Amino acid sequence: MQTRDFSHVRRFVLAGALATALAGTAHAEKKYDPGATDTEIKIGNIMPYSGPASAYATIGKTEAAYFNKINSEGGINGRKINFISYDDAYSPPKTVEQARKLVESDEVLLVFNPLGTPGNTAIQKYMNAKKVPQIFVSTGAAKWNDPKNFPWTMGWQPNYQTEARIYAAYILKNLPGKTIGVLYQNDDFGKDYLIGLHEGLGDQASKLIVVETSYETSSPTVDSQVVQIKGSNPDIFINVATPKFAAQAIKKIAEIGWKPTQFLTNVSASIGGVIKPAGYEASQGILSTNYLKDPKDPAWKSDPAMNEWRAFMKKWYPEGDQEDASTVFGYGVAKGLEQVLKQCGDDLTRENVMKQAANLNFEIGIYLPGTKIKTSPTDFAPLEQLQMQRFEGESWQLFGPLMSGEKGS
């Protein structure tokens, strides 16, 4: 009796079963939470398109333009970005309202780059209770780097306390014994700077800081606060204000003929948004820090990454002000989210979004050379380096090394 060899048939059957199993596995690997499908990723955002911090509105507009560009190129891993951005007028109760709308009505996958320390503070517990990523918040408060207590919230930019410690170190080294007057916004944003400044100055703080004057975001101007600070005659003026008020302070100092050494918070170092309105002449010699390549700095005139940004602005956001560093900021942080979503692949769960956000190690060309975007499950601070800069002529001039300003560094 002749026997037939069916081993080849068995091989085919096994191969077919294996292929089917692999296909099933590949299909099973697609995991979605609300806000994600095979074709779309819904991203929520909250910006002050109106109100006292509306100078930052261009950040949201830049991000919208960037996601339009991404969508025109086929999206991220084949999915288009549906960017839903709401105005909160820099008012915390409104931020809460908009966050609830994004999470409960729009059912976004995540809330990306909501702007402002007061507003983000107001929604932090809600976002964490709902287990919805509150990712790359547009504020440098130190509290966003607290993965143990708030595992669903992550910052982006270098924190305010770090920046203030850098200024304190500069003052102790280059302006020893000089007295200090501080103008600060009366909320977590302003108070974070004060904490960092006091920490950085150490036991010299009580001797050197002769006046600390706050203002409310509901105030029309800070003119009276500037005059009050001048009354104590400090050698140094530290301007911890959002753009509208920062520009007013610089202008008022020039108007009353006062000539202190001025420090300006990084979040208000935009030439288009602050320096130009305050006046170039009034702004000469102001000190600040940066981690972005300033669009007006001639050093980056032929820089490939900045040329890429200029081409993006020209095509996708032509009405945007290319002298406003806030557009560079918006472009950079949008690239950060793009990287996270690329790393997520087909696992678009909220848990995986946070897992990937806590596993970053890359560079973005529009940041200063040597600047890394780096996170870990125990370190939710993507950017921790800054470089000192001085305003001269019509642009910022960088000087000194990149510094971290972390405690003990």
Segment 125-153 mean pLDDT: 97
Segment 318-347 shows an average pLDDT of 97
Tokens 């949201």 correspond to: 60
Query: Percent of the chain, pLDDT > 70?
Result: 92
Q: Residue 262 pLDDT more than 80?
A: yes
> 19-28, 155-164, 237-246: which range is least confident on average?
19-28
Calculate the dihedral angle through the C-alpha atoms of 302, 308, 314, 315, rounding to the nearest 10 degrees: 150
Residue for token digits 């069916």?
6
**pTM check: above 0.85:** yes
Q: Report whether pLDDT(322) > 90.
A: yes
Q: Which two structure tokens, joined as six digits, stand for 345?
A: 């692949």
Q: Which two tokens stand for residue 130?
A: 């709902």
Mean pLDDT for 107-115 is 98
* Positive/negative CA dihedral, 269, 138, 355, 77: negative
Residue 116 tokens read as 């402002």
pLDDT at 3: 46
Q: Does 1 score more than 90 pLDDT? A: no
β-pair partners for 161: none
Q: How far apart are CA 58 and CA 325, in angstroms?
A: 10
Phi first, then psi: what are they for 332, rounded to 5°?
A: -65, -45
Q: What's the pLDDT at 15?
A: 52
User: Based on C-alpha coordinates, what's the Rg of the chain?
Assistant: 24
HEC per residue, 196-259:
HHHHHHHHHHHHHEEEEEEECCCCCCCHHHHHHHHHCCCCEEEEECCHHHHHHHHHHHHHCCCC
pLDDT band at 13 (very low <50, low <70, confident <90, very high): very low
d(CA 33, CA 22): 23
pLDDT tens sequence across 176-220: 999 999 999 999 899 999 999 999 999 999 999 999 999 999 999
What average pLDDT score do residues 92-121 get? Answer: 98
Superfamily the domain 160-290+389-403 falls into: Response regulator (3.40.50.2300)
Kind of pairing, strands 80-87 and 361-362? Answer: unpaired
Mean pLDDT (whole number) for 285-293? 96
CATH fold group of domain 40-158+300-378: Rossmann fold (3.40.50)
pLDDT bin (cut points 50, 70, 90) of residue 24 is very low
Residue (of 167, 189, 224) closest to 48 by Cα position: 189
Confidence of residue 9 (pLDDT cuts 50, 70, 90): very low
Strands (E), 102-155: 110-112, 134-135
d(CA 116, CA 59): 12
Give, rounded to a whole angstrom, the gap between the first and last alpha carbons of the chain: 87
Which strand (E) or helix (H) includes residue 308?
helix 304-316
CA-to-CA distance for 285 and 288, rounded, in angstroms?
10
Mean pLDDT (whole number) for 360-383: 95
Mean pLDDT of 32-55: 97
- Between CA 310 and CA 303 the distance in angstroms is 10
pLDDT of residue 409: 41
Question: Tell me: the pLDDT tens digits for 306-319?
Answer: 999 999 999 999 99
Mean pLDDT over residues 42-55, rounded?
Answer: 97
CATH 3.40.50.2300 boundaries in the chain: 40-158+300-378, 160-290+389-403
pLDDT tens digits for range 143-164 = 999 999 999 999 999 999 999 9
Confidence of residue 406 (pLDDT cuts 50, 70, 90): low
pLDDT for the residue 29: 82
**Looking at the predicted structure, is the pLDDT value of residue 324 above 50?**
yes
State the pLDDT at residue 404: 80
Contact 184, 386 (CB under 8 A): no
Rounded to an integer, the average pLDDT of 279-303 is 95
Distance CA 3, CA 340 (A): 59
Element (H, E) at 401: strand 395-403
Rounded-to-5 percentages of helix, strand, coil across the chain: 45, 20, 35
Please, what is the average pLDDT of the chain? 93
